[in-house]
Amino acid sequence: MELSIYNIEGKKTGRKVTLDDEIFGIEPNDHAIYLDTRQYMANNRQGTAKSKERGEVTGSTRKLKRQKGTGSARFGDIKNPLFRGGGRIFGPKPRDYSFRLNKKVKQLARKSALSYKASENSIIVLEDFNIENPKTKEFKKISDNLQVSDKKSLYVLPEQNKNIYLSSRNLQGVEVVTVSELTTYKILNASTLILAESAVDVLQQNFKN
């Protein structure tokens, strides 16, 4: 699969890049995508939800009424879960939601996500660029030229570039990541995937290793 390379003015440079069909042209595996996305979201959960149980609520331990002879149910102290202000029964406790996933499954999921984007013509290859000083206005101009300013866009760079990152972080719906930070969730969450020219080689090399 061949794609034209665009410059920051949004015009074709006349050059093309070949995308490997083993990465961008496979039959997508939806179950692998589900597993990888589920793992990504689970690993990002804080797991800090906590409610107080009967033994943790502040209150008197005095028995409210005698055990027998009242004609009603027996009660203990005011911290009974049945009373307002009492402890909670089987409430949430801090826990770790993360789980492990086979590397081959994760790789298959990413290939499937990239193949979906390729089949939808939602991939743009942008020639390597740099921003000398962090300016949101300059990055916004690039997005406007590529006609992606009104869409969720994911820019993929071969390595970290502080100026490009700082220039993009105030724009809504725009995210800049490196090839190593690319995940199935981020690929599918974006409407358009914008790959830097040199990032294509790094990406394809990573999948072959």
Reduced 3-state DSSP string for 25-88? CCCCCHHHHHHHHHHHHHHCCCCCCCCCCCCCCCCCCCCCCCCCCCCCCCCCCCCCCCCCCCCC
147 and 177: one domain? yes
Same domain, 105 and 157: yes
Task: Look at residue 209 and tell me whether its pLDDT is greater than 70.
Answer: no
Tokens representing 150? Answer: 């009104």
Each residue of 65-114: pLDDT tens digit?
A: 999 999 998 889 999 999 999 999 999 999 999 999 999 999 999 999 99
Residue 96 within any structural domain of the chain: no
Same structural domain, 81 and 175: no
- 16 belongs to a structural domain: yes
pLDDT tens by residue, 29-39: 999 999 999 99
Question: At 186, which CATH number?
Answer: 3.40.1370.10
- The verdict on 58 and 140 lying in the same domain is no
pTM over 0.85: no
With respect to residue 74, please indicate whether it lies within any of the assigned structural domains. yes
Residues 131 and 30 placed together within one structural domain of the fold:
yes
Residue 154: strand pairing partners: 175, 193
Number of domains in the chain: 2
| Structural contact between residues 140 and 171, judged by C-beta atoms closer than 8 angstroms | yes
Q: Distance between CA atoms of 59 and 123, rounded to whole angstroms? A: 61
- Is 108 found in the same domain as 197? yes
| 175 inside domain | yes
Q: Are 51 and 92 in contact (CB under 8 A)?
A: yes
Q: Are residues 160 and 180 in the same domain?
A: yes
Instruction: Give the model's pLDDT for residue 92.
Output: 94
Whether residues 37 and 122 fall in one domain: yes
Task: Give me the amino acid identity at 102.
Answer: N
Q: Domain range holding 66?
A: 51-91
Q: What percent of the chain has pLDDT above 90?
A: 78
| Residues 22 and 67 occupy one common structural domain | no
Same domain, 74 and 134: no
Question: How many other β-carbons are positioned within 10 Å of the β-carbon of residue 73?
Answer: 6
Please tell me the distance from the alpha carbon of residue 163 to that of residue 117, in angstroms, as a whole number: 27
